[in-house]
Structure 1
């Protein structure tokens, strides 16, 4: 059994970036990282652009100007203004080369033939220069940039339709247990509804990992070997829930050994989630999580999350941790470090009741985990505690 710190260190060390390239339509590339630099195919903006609604001027000494036309956004006309002439112009429209400033409409009076501006303005005032954002042939976004909605919008504004990104891992999600049945079916005595696959699939989807295959395996040694062998050979990441303890019908550990999976670690000194396995076979990362739902989800956020971020070559690979004042008291039993389900808001955190590893209801209300280290025996009201913020 190893410490939490050592387990995290080993996951960071062993879960290497996939470094595989795939091409995605720009509108479906959100959440990916750029595999290569993107070079701009155009100047942005591609012409001198009005920053507001107003009047484009060829400036002279007088405050009065002859109005000779109008330019809307998208118009291709390119009038030649003489000194003392102006055109009505709108935000985003192309400013004629002969214009050297735009006066906002609120400071202009006049009619269809002549206008008067309130005061003189500097040259190039309210004009966005051509290529102000990026020049044609220059790097628009660098390799490794996270494609946020803003980045997608920016690339689209450059005319980009497809982008090279780091391929996301293919994931197999395997649940074990004869007592588990699908929601929607009638429960028989001794059965429970299977929830881990739905829970972990939702967690993966929320992190924008969509290439996920789900399989349920009976508590049978040969069937477990067959399912794990296929999953490991076909995926970059395999997540198993249940069957990793030492009971008579816990076959996952034995199957992984039979398949010659390298054991990086097995069992972590923590609560919940002590019977956690992490291993590798070739380039495939394998996590066997406890079957209890709260323990499985805690281990996912603490360890599997790190592996996923590393596989995507992301620099920030752990969930954020903050210091928060506790609104509640808590007595810790035993000598294992503990992760406590909690609600965090505005620098304060409430540790919830019902901390059992099987308590899904408490986790359903949580948005954070409070870390109670080995040396801590109790938490008092207003104590400052380390708090892990969970993805929403």
Structure 2
């Protein structure tokens, strides 16, 4: 049998191929509350200052500091209170010398005032107040632009928008943001043997899980997933299922039907239609396909559940994150020691499911290398990466981990 290893695509080169195929997503302007998890496509500048006006940082009394010099509990200063200034009042009148305005937190500072006496240092008077302590100029004031200057760049392109960023931009009065559109991903699993969960299984059938995993993974990074339930191993059925949805999506992901068997429906249907089928030097997940079908970018993943999940993790996830403009497309990596020995085929980069124990800094293999061992994947918090030129990792040997958790 001829050696086909030299014809395998490397993991890194195929990852670059997938990223180029997916490309960048278009920019759209969305309401701020709808931008959670998305990435700014352009810098944002402040349309106003924050605070937009001088205001009080405390409930108390706006005063001129010279009017309360020497105030103490033994010798309080008495001041008339001609005005109340609640938060939100817009017709604030100037403070006259020798008077105080009762003021609430966040309310605008009246012209002429230079300090706030907090209410705890007074008798809380309404028409006249007794002040029991002197305050220096600037006490308990929030100055205009103290947080942000008008016109300043406040967030740069590439910023991932979480709750703090969205709340901040709302405080600036910004209603919409330029972001990369969420990727609209069409997901299709193939296989006559597949049955939708909840329905009874006949002998020889299995429950379809790939679309659930892939859809969840798409949604986790901010995409929109549209699942087409499994189609049988029939090319006409595949064409018919896909046709109504091609123009509505940015990417088609299929699982199954790409190997060298007799009933490889995806390969049969899309060969010669703009999709190229290759083998990648990775285990599990060697059979892959990429290209376009009627203008829609297509990625075809293997059908074995772990192979499909790993293929998404290695190739599709970083491409979609890059398309969203996310500056961090790679999982966190960790160095550890192997708790037991592991073997790997020469010329292929193997990814074993594993559990990283931070206490012992050990990587514990979970299950074997088989591409059908779903329970092992569900119990793992990392992938143990074994390079192409390593065929055996001894117990206690150092390994690189791809962390599946933050």
TM-score, length basis structure 1: 0.87
Q: Is the 8 A contact 2:193 2:206 kept in 1?
A: yes
Structure 1 partner of 2:11: 4
Which structure has the larger Rg? 2
Structure 2 partner of 1:114: 130
Take 1:147 and 1:350, find their aligned partners in 2: how far apart are those partners? 35
Take 1:67 and 1:299, find their aligned partners in 2: how far apart are those partners? 75
Take 1:282 and 1:39, find their aligned partners in 2: how far apart are those partners? 41
CA gap 1:102/1:374 in 2 versus in 1, 3 angstroms:
same
Take 1:346 and 1:84, find their aligned partners in 2: how far apart are those partners? 65
- Structure 1: which 4+ aligned runs deviate by more than 6 Å? none
Structure 2 partner of 1:332: 343
Determine helix, strand or coil for the equivalent of 1:214: strand
CA gap 1:33/1:282 in 2 versus in 1, 3 angstroms:
farther
Structure 2 partner of 1:147: 161
Single out whichever of 227-236 and 140-149 deviates more from structure 2: 227-236
Report the CA distance between 1:76 and its aligned residue.
Answer: 3.6
Q: Deviations over 1:367-390 (max 9, x none)?
A: 221211123344455544211122
CA gap 1:243/1:390 in 2 versus in 1, 3 angstroms:
same
Gaps of 5+ in 1: none
Q: Is the 8 A contact 1:31 1:148 kept in 2?
A: yes
TM-score, length basis structure 2: 0.84
After the TM superposition, which residues 194-209 of structure 1 pair with which residues of structure 2 at under 5 Å, given as runs? 194-209=208-223
The structure 2 residue matched to 1:167, chosen from 181, 198, 202, is 181
Report the CA distance between 1:344 and its aligned residue.
Answer: 3.2
Q: Deviations over 1:57-116 (max 9, x none)?
A: 31117132426255333334524334454444443222223221234556x254522112
Report the CA distance between 1:120 and its aligned residue.
Answer: 4.4
Report the CA distance between 1:244 and its aligned residue.
Answer: 0.5
The structure 2 residue matched to 1:250, chosen from 264, 285, 288, is 264
Task: Report the count of equivalent residues.
Answer: 385
Report the CA distance between 1:209 and its aligned residue.
Answer: 1.0
Determine helix, strand or coil for the equivalent of 1:276: strand
Q: Deviations over 1:27-73 (max 9, x none)?
A: 11212223444454433322112234444331117132426255333
Gaps of 5+ in 2: 1-7, 72-76
The structure 2 residue matched to 1:16, chosen from 23, 26, 33, is 23
Q: Is the 8 A contact 1:237 1:286 kept in 2?
A: yes
Take 1:367 and 1:42, find their aligned partners in 2: how far apart are those partners? 45
CA gap 1:196/1:130 in 2 versus in 1, 3 angstroms:
same
Residues 1:51 and 2:62 are matched in the alignment: no
Q: Is the 8 A contact 1:231 1:238 kept in 2?
A: no
Q: Is the 8 A contact 1:34 1:147 kept in 2?
A: yes
Q: Is the 8 A contact 2:257 2:303 kept in 1?
A: yes
Structure 1 partner of 2:4: none
Q: Is the 8 A contact 1:355 1:362 kept in 2?
A: no
Q: Is the 8 A contact 2:384 2:401 kept in 1?
A: yes
Take 2:301 and 2:141, find their aligned partners in 1: how far apart are those partners? 59
Aligned-pair RMSD on alpha carbons? 2.8
Single out whichever of 287-296 and 173-182 deviates more from structure 2: 287-296
Determine helix, strand or coil for the equivalent of 2:17: helix
Single out whichever of 252-261 and 87-96 deviates more from structure 2: 87-96
